Amino acid sequence: QTGCGHAVVAPGSAHFGRGSGPIWLDNVECTGQESALTHCTHRGFGENNCGHGEDASVICSGDLQKPQISLSPSQVVNWGEKVEITCSRSTNSTQLYSTLSGTFVLKNRQGSMNMKKFSTQTDATFIFPKADFSLNGSYFCEYQTEVPEQGIIYYPQGNTADLSVIVKLEKPSISLTSAHSMVIYSPVKISVPRGSAFSITCSTHSTFPDGLFYLIKSKTNITKSPQAFGHSIFYMAYFEFPEIDVEDSGEYACVYGINISSASFKSLPSKSLQVTVIATSSSSVVAGVVSFLVIVLVVLVIGYWVWRKKWRVAGTMVQFSSKFQERTKDKDDQSNGAVDERERTNQIYEHQQLCSPVITNNEVQSEDLAGQVCNELEPLIDP
């Protein structure tokens, strides 16, 4: 009523001096929980049989301030995250009860929570290791302390603070891999030859396991993957395209989704990856043929060079062998010439013996037919 907090002591006999004027209350009896003197029992207004020497007095505790509330890490937390709610009271030295210990009470507007914690300090912290959706709501703190001969002193109810538990999923990443050649215009624009095989990989960092990836094409068609796999907080999934066709062209994006407490949650889409399927053109065929011919030509040149090198070595050996044989032949010819000259001499000698007339008893015999033949043949024999 006077704005000075709870009454600590109520001395009588005009403790602060005699008053003046009418006396409105007499025989007043209070329990200490009343918020005004008129709430205490008395004889009635203006009914009294006392004087100002019996004037009542009161000593107050001062204005008791509301306990404060704070949420950590913030008023919006992720599902499964650790949450701490701290209640604290003022340490204003003007308050009579500022040095006393007491009990903090944490409550919510829904009435489903009423947690108490005794503290000899000026604050108390209520810890929730894993936040879930049951913690959603508005919270406030109360504080009470017991004063000797005064009983329990209740501080005013504190202000409220809202706590929201959400499921926050990070944007996944998207990438494309292929064993075939690709034309990469930018990190988000790729051209792939028609008929080639490729795969799109979706990945994300998340504290929520057992999720699924969704591949969105041109913001319309959605393909759901098998359950994502990974370790700890990293998960990924593959979307295979064994033989890509023109209708597979479009913008692709990944979405990660989970189910918690019969509710579905999905992340925001990843960056779009624009895939363009190009048909194999005649120029590509020509380029392939030219490449093949170049390879064949290189092989032939290398083969010719190796063959020529071997031929030069073989020619040198043949030339050496020919010269050796010629020298050997010259020597043989010289030897044969000497033999032929001896044979010629022998032939001439035999011919002379054959063609000479027979001399017997100092008479020369006339030549016979054989001798005629010899004379006829003599001109044929070179001297």
| 312 or 217, which is more confident | 217
Determine the 3-state secondary structure of 58 from DSSP: coil
- State both tokens at 270: 């990843």
For tokens 């990974």, the residue is: 230
Res 378: pLDDT? 47
Determine the 3-state secondary structure of 168 from DSSP: coil
Q: What are phi and psi of 20, to 5 degrees?
A: -145, 160
Q: How far apart are CA 254 and CA 269, in angstroms?
A: 6
One of 3.40.630.30, 3.10.250.10, 3.20.20.450, 2.80.10.50 is the CATH number of 1-60, namely 3.10.250.10
| 373 or 277, which is more confident | 277
Give the CATH fold of the 173-279 domain.
Immunoglobulin-like (2.60.40)
For tokens 């027979």, the residue is: 358
Q: Which of 58-72, 177-191, 219-233 has the highest mean predicted lDDT (pLDDT)?
A: 58-72
- State both tokens at 64: 């008791």
Topology alike, domains 68-166 and 173-279: yes
Res 313: pLDDT? 63
* pLDDT at 382 exceeding the cut of 50: no
Domain ranges in the chain are 1-60, 68-166, 173-279
- State both tokens at 347: 């032939």
Give the pLDDT confidence of 253-288 residue by residue, as tens digits.
999 999 988 889 999 999 988 888 887 654 455 556
- State both tokens at 364: 């020369």
Q: Are 66 and 155 in contact (CB under 8 A)?
A: yes
Res 283: pLDDT? 46
Q: How far apart are CA 246 and CA 328, in angstroms?
A: 82
Q: Distance between alpha carbon 21 and the CA centroid of its chain, in Å?
A: 86
* pLDDT at 367 exceeding the cut of 90: no
Q: What is the maximum alpha-carbon separation in the chain? A: 227
pLDDT band at 160 (very low <50, low <70, confident <90, very high): very high
Res 323: pLDDT? 52
> Taking the domain 68-166, which CATH number applies?
2.60.40.10
